[in-house]
Structure 1
Amino acid sequence: MTLPTYGAIPRRLVVVVILCLLASPVHALTSVYEVQSGDSLWEIASRFGTSVSTIKQLNKLKSSSIHPGQRLLVGSSIRKIEANNGPYYYASPKSETQKSRGYAESSSRSAREDYNRANRLIQAHLAELRDRFGKAKKRESPLKGWRIMLDPGHGGRDPGAIVSNETGDKEEVHVVEDEYVYDITMRVMERLMLYGAEVQMTVLSPNHLKRDSFLAKETFVNEKNEVYNDEAYNRKADPMVRPGSHNIKRRVMVANRFFKKGRKDKSLFVSLHADNSPQRPRGPLVIYQKKGSRMDKPSRTFAKIMQRALDHRTVPSLIGSRNMAVLRDNRASAEILVEIRNVSSKADAWALRFHEKRQEDADRIVRGVLDYATSR
């Protein structure tokens, strides 16, 4: 299928409209929320990590009565820090670039503190996106009613692959898988929301959303500050609650909680990675769940459609099946894992460093979701 056209608007103009809608504001991120049908002050306060009394005070409300369309201030603005590989919020990395394969910056805050920051940041961003998209004229919503969980691979204690790469001047740089995959995931989330889907992520960062690479040699730093999108889990005073291979099933639990509120037949799970596999060619690989002779047929169908969307005449995409913890016991109607790049390839690792290429990757993933959803 082709991407939705907004009525009779030409495709080129559609692209311009989408870019304008997704453009990041240059000011600080404001904590303003537009009330949706069914909302309560308690739910809004919980979502933004604040209290009902604080929201009432900020908005001079005399009661807890609210109505759809009402705009509420839910906290102070979140400071935005510009950077060549940003922007960042609250705080930026100490280093401007990933210095070596072994370099890492650990968080000085607890998982609970980082979760509070991450939750407030993502909720403010989602509120801003809903407000921006809601004002778009002739906006089509082919994904309305779909609930999609995006799983940015690794994060927290586990950065995934860290590989060396070169600039055009032969200067050595280093690419950290989880940092770049998170950026692609953010870009996918924004596009899916534009097309009407309800979207969440299993893992959150406390200090950035999507980031642009205006100086690609300043690569994203391995910050071990990501947390699971699970408020109760992050209350534990234990550094091991951060994402890692030891608690990978938490991703499935976060997803299944999200899927409980929607229709079983309109739920998708997409885990995003960029693996380091010298034994296979460069380019994307789509994986669906298979345990022994037991195969998940809807997921295989989704994987085949995603493979076609990711395919390129010079870099063909591959498909495979595995028994994977992040796909097992998942309540989505279909679930897949996408290795969007193979960073053992210098060309693939190079491409990840540029936000234009990451946006292209995100757009192809979105096309795969749209093709699957509209084929049913």
Structure 2
Amino acid sequence: MGALLVKTVTAAYGQDSLKVVVAEKGDGILSLLRKQGVNPYDHYDDFIAMNADNLRDSIHLYAGRKYIIPKVDTVEVVQTLQGKSRQIKEVKGVDYAIFGKKHATVIPKSERLKGNVYYLVSGHGGPDPGAMATYAGQKIAEDEYAYDITLRLAKELISHGAMVYIIIRDENDGIRDERILKIDHDEVAYPDKTIPLNQVARLKQRVDIVNRLYRKHRGKYQRLIVTHVDSRSRGQNIDVFFYHHEKSKNGKKLAESIHKTFQEKYKKFQPNRVYSGTFEDRSSLYMVKKTHPAMTFIEIGNIRSKKDQRRILDPDNRQALAKWISEGVLRDYEK
């Protein structure tokens, strides 16, 4: 990625004087904020709101244009009576190794989901990479991108006080900011079970793990979110779809809440594009049919479509997807 230009100017935004920087070719929203010392995950939406009219597809930067950087008020400086020393008070986070060294720290944002339990299952993994495709001469696999989005979602939910079980896990990967995610086969099922090669055995293993944990936490608010990347015909690009069990009112409400959030985000950030994703019954899917918690099954794009590849491979897009899903989860619970 290109480095930011050193030159900065200030701009008025409301009553505050904010920094403005010029983006170079290769810069994305995450790297732009990170280089300015701003937590990109806490201030991603603020940045988009401030720069909405200056973004391509509402989420990409234009090289050579100026962008407003959100003001960060996370550190309070208090002088002593003598004025000789300063006490620094800052928000402390908790480290989770599963998110990787760069992204390990989770800064608490609220307790809106405190006491709630969420089970997150990313599709495929272990001996099964899922759908495969080629990008820039390199192989890419569905399971790696579904897992990265799932980790980002887990971090968002934890920041709001939720207890989160990441059912399919890779202790070595963490959240990754690369476009091409290296393919491996060392994922395990919670806590450290080898993932079977046989598809039915693999799905049954996940169902058994979720249902056992569900019984353990009986009486608590519990939800399951399964994330896949679709693999339709090569030229077909699709939107994000949400499925639920036909007899689960709470599952339908969860799927509908996230779906509605996506509709609103598209209307706000991509007003010239119609969102065609739906939420609907798909009780025939094994995970939908067999698991006990109210759940939604999410299909994100088509890994074989060149248009959808741009959505899935861009780490900014993966973060936006996770953020929007988490906002739908909050909406579901609070309504």
Could you say which TM-score interval applies, normalised by the shorter chain? Answer: 0.5 to 0.7
Q: 1: CA distance between counterparts of 2:97 and 2:213?
A: 19
Deviations 1:253-280 (A, max 9, x none): 2112222333545100000011112397
Counterpart mapping for 1:1-376 below 5 A: 19=41, 121-122=97-98, 129=105, 133=107, 139-165=109-135, 171-213=136-178, 216=179, 219-231=180-192, 233-234=193-194, 241=196, 244-264=199-219, 266-278=221-233, 282-290=238-246, 295-311=247-263, 312-313=266-267, 314=273, 315-322=275-282, 323-332=284-293, 334-375=294-335
Q: For residue 143 of structure 1, give the secondary structure of its aligned residue in structure 2.
A: coil
Considering fraction of residues, name the structure with more strand.
Answer: 2
Runs of 4+ in 1 over 4 A off after TM superposition: 15-18, 242-245
Q: In the alignment, which residue of structure 1 is the partner of 2:63?
A: none
Q: 2: CA distance between counterparts of 1:194 and 1:324?
A: 30
- Sequence identity, in percent? 24
Cα deviation for residue 222 of structure 1 reads 2.2
Q: 2: CA distance between counterparts of 1:243 and 1:361?
A: 30
Change in CA separation of 1:350 and 1:20 when aligned onto 2, cut-off 3 Å: closer
Cα deviation for residue 227 of structure 1 reads 1.0
Q: CA RMSD in A?
A: 3.1
Mind listing any 5+ residue stretches in structure 1 that lack a counterpart?
1-9, 23-119, 166-170, 235-239
Change in CA separation of 1:301 and 1:348 when aligned onto 2, cut-off 3 Å: same
Please tell me the residue identity of whatever aligns with 1:158.
D
For these two proteins, the number of residue pairs brought into alignment is 239
Please tell me the residue identity of whatever aligns with 1:185.
T
Please tell me the residue identity of whatever aligns with 2:296.
I
Deviations 1:183-230 (A, max 9, x none): 0000000010000000011111131111111xx3xx222211111113
Cα deviation for residue 281 of structure 1 reads 5.1
| TM-score (structure 2 length as normaliser) | 0.63
Deviations 1:86-117 (A, max 9, x none): xxxxxxxxxxxxxxxxxxxxxxxxxxxxxxxx
Please tell me the residue identity of whatever aligns with 1:296.
S
Cα deviation for residue 307 of structure 1 reads 1.1
Change in CA separation of 1:265 and 1:206 when aligned onto 2, cut-off 3 Å: closer
Cα deviation for residue 242 of structure 1 reads 6.0
Q: For residue 155 of structure 1, give the secondary structure of its aligned residue in structure 2.
A: coil
Q: For residue 279 of structure 2, give the secondary structure of its aligned residue in structure 1.
A: strand
Please tell me the residue identity of whatever aligns with 1:327.
V
Bigger relative CO (Cα 8 Å, ≥ 6 apart): 1
